[in-house]
Structure 1
Amino acid sequence: MKAVTIRTFGGPEGLAVIDVPVPAPAAGQVLIRNEAIGVGGVDAVIRRGTLAMYGFEEGHIPGSEVAGTVTAVGDGVDASWVGRRVWAFTGVGGGYVEHAIAAVEEVFPLPADLSAVDAVTLGSSGMVAHFGLAHAHFAPGESVLVRGAGGSLGIMTVQLAAHGGAGAVAVTTSSAERGDRLRKLGATHVLDRSGQGGGADAPAGYDVIIDIIAGADMPSFFAKLNPNGRMVAVGAVGGRPPADFGMAMMAAFQKSMSFATFSAATVSEPDRRAVRTAQFDAASRGELRTVVHELLPLEQAALAHRKMDAGEVFGRIVLTP
């Protein structure tokens, strides 16, 4: 089968299409014939070699979420999974393939009217957005700023904050056109990437900031937190923040601000399952909107990464085997 691997860390040109055997599911696993593969920001971070200290090596197959049909199961797995349409989390890699392996506890049946493409656009992003807001102790009536709202995670965070009764939902994004699209998804104020703008009625500060970017400019956003405000970093597509980023919080000690990171790895399997099932159902009813930037063949994974690196993507690129 075809697979995409990170031949060399660095730019998208380091991705290569190779032939590998179709794997056999081990005990507790299923084999899925992929119909759609989500391309996420973390895939690009791994590809650049930024996370090499965590054990990622050249030769790694990126991709963490897929959707398709179960074709085989390993020992201990109910045979009734075979033939079912599912979404699956493949772990920290292994998704950019024609046939993927996933642990059965990370496999979710799809509603009949939810496409595989919509499933990989929502699957991880919606769940991280939900628990990221919960980690920030977001409450109805509070103001929320989503930093880096143009990707699928930002888009889901905007929708969930708006549906959750936020008093205001501000976003940072790169263009007026993207801002208009985010307004249609629930944003009330549009700021530039530095956090400026938003109009005369934009909040002076925010109760919650959900940060998908991190990077060198992250400390400047502490100044946008209200007293007792909370910033939660749910991603780092812009790279690591400065080593001394906490000094910006110390300088505003009397505001009692909080900073936290959030990883879905800390959420229990039953909680992930409950939220993801509810979100798939909501999407199938049209209550959550997925935004697909483009469908590309699996063999064009490098092109997908070039588009992400260039900041061209609004929503999610989906690969199709």
Structure 2
Amino acid sequence: MKAVAIQTYGGPEGLVVIDLPAPAPGGGQVLITTEAIGVGGVDTVIRSGALAAYGFKEGFVPGSEVAGTVSAVGDGVDVSWIGRRVWAFTGTGGGYVEQAVVSVEEIVPLPGNLSAVDVVALGGPGVVAHFGLRHAHFAPGETVLVRGAAGSIGIMAVQLAARGGAAAVAVTTSSAERGRRLLRLGATHVLERSGEGGEGAPAGYDVIIDVVAGGDMPSFFDRLNPNGRMVAVGAVAGQPPADFGTKIMAAFQKSMSFAAFSAATVSEADRSAVRREQFAAASRGEIATVVHDVLPLDAAVLAHRRMDAGEVFGRIVLTP
């Protein structure tokens, strides 16, 4: 089967199309013939080599979510799954493939009116946004800032905060056009990337959901209200400065807090339950799925170039 692997770490040109043996499902697994593959920010970070110390080696196949049809099942799996269209979590990698083997515990059936492209724009980002807001102890009536709101996680965080009764949902983004699109999705104020601007925007925020991290992250602690909580759900701009915590300690009397969040700390059952709810909400038109572009699998280099250039609003989807 055709797959895309990281031949060399660095820029997008390090991605290459390769042939791999067709996989077979083992016990407790299913084989999915993929129809759509989500391209996430973590894929570009892995490809850059920034996470090589965590065991990601050259030759690694990126991609954490796919959608398609179950074509075979392993021992212990109900054969009624065969022929069903599903979303699937492939782990931290292995998704840029024509056929994917995944645990049966990590698949969710698709509502009939949602396409495979729609669900890979929602499945991974929706869970991160949902549990990221929960990790921040977000409550109705609070003010929320989503930093880096134009990506798939940010877009979901905006929609979920608005649906959850936020008093205000401010966003940082790179252009007026993106700001207008985010306002249509539930944002109330559009700020510059620095957090400045935004006529009528709150002076401070109870919750900040940060997809970006990077060198500028500590400056956003100044925008937290007393008892405010910032949760980093991504690091597309890289790691923050090593001493970023000194900002919190310098404002000790404000009782601010910072946390990182990974969906890996949530049980498979809880993740699947939220995905089912979100897929149902999307099928009813209550949540929007935002797809920037659909490209063939062998155009993964182009997809990563667009991600690196910051051109993407929503999610790029690859199709075999």
TM-score, normalised via structure 2 length: 0.99
Deviation, structure 1 residue 272: 1.0
Match of residue 238 from structure 1 = 237
Cα distance between partner residues in 1 of 2:269 and 2:92:
20
Inter-partner Cα distance in structure 2 for 1:87 and 1:14: 28
Gaps of 5+ in 1: none
Query: How many residues of Structure 1 are paired with residues of Structure 2 in the alignment?
Result: 320
Matches within 5 A, 1:20-35: 20-35=20-35
| 1:122 alignment counterpart | 122
Secondary structure in 2 matching 1:71 = strand
Check whether the contact 2:107–2:272 (CA below 8 A) recurs between aligned residues. no
Which residue identity does 1:27 align to in structure 2?
G
2:271 match? 272
Residue type matched to 2:288 in 1? R
Question: 1:270 Cα shift?
Answer: 1.9
Structure 1 residue runs of 4 or more that deviate by more than 4 Å after TM superposition: none
- Residue-by-residue CA offset, 1:92-150 (whole Å, 9 max, x unaligned): 10000001111110011111111100000000101110000000000000000000000
Give, in whole Å, the separation in 2 of the partners of 1:253 and 1:13: 46
Tell me how far apart the structure 1 counterparts of residues 308 and 129 of structure 2 sit (CA, whole Å).
22
C-alpha separation between the residues in 1 aligned to 2:105 and 2:232?
27
Q: Which amino acid aligns with 2:161?
A: A
Matched with 2:145 is 145
In 2, Cα distance between equivalents of 1:19 and 1:124: 26
Matched ranges for 1:251-270 at <5 A:
251-270=250-269
Residues 149-206 of structure 1, C-alpha deviation per residue, up to 9 Å, x if partnerless? 001100000000000000000000000000000000000000111111011x110000
Find the aligned partners of 2:11 and 2:269 in 1 and give their Cα distance.
37
Identity %: 77
Matching residue of 1:288? 287
> RMSD value over aligned CA atoms?
0.5
TM-superposed deviation, 1:269:
1.8
Looking at structure 2, the residues matched to 40 and 279 of structure 1 have their Cα atoms a distance apart, in angstroms, of 18
Work out whether residues 169 and 189 of structure 2, in 8 Å CA contact, stay in contact via their aligned partners in 1.
Answer: yes
| Aligned-pair CA distance for 1:271 | 1.2
Amino acid in structure 1 at the alignment position of 2:266: V
Amino acid at match of 1:105: E
> Which residue in the other structure is 1:300 paired with?
299
Q: 1:158 corresponds to which letter in structure 2?
A: V
Shift of 1:274: 1.2
Secondary structure, in 3 states, of the residue corresponding to 1:294? strand
Once the two structures are TM-superposed, the CA of residue 21 in structure 1 deviates from its matched residue by: 1.2
Matches within 5 A, 1:76-95: 76-95=76-95
Letter in 1 for 2:90: T
- TM-score, normalised with respect to structure 1: 0.99
Output the CA distance in 1 between the equivalents of 2:277 and 2:107: 14
> Distance between the aligned counterparts of 2:53 and 2:220, measured in 1?
27
- 1:273 Cα deviation (Å)? 1.5
Structure 1 distance, partners of 2:297, 2:269, is: 32
Q: List aligned pairs for 1:161-172, cutoff 5 A.
A: 161-172=161-172
Name the structure 2 match of 1:310.
309
Instruction: Give 3-state SS (helix, strand or coil) of 2:312's partner.
Output: coil
1:211 corresponding residue in structure 2 = 210
Alignment partner, residue 113 of structure 1: 113
Which residue identity lines up with residue 219 of structure 1 in the other structure? Answer: P
Q: Which runs of 5+ in 2 are unaligned?
A: none
Match of 1:36 in 2: 36
Displacement after TM superposition at 1:254 (Å):
0.8
> Which SS does the other structure have where 1:198 is aligned?
coil
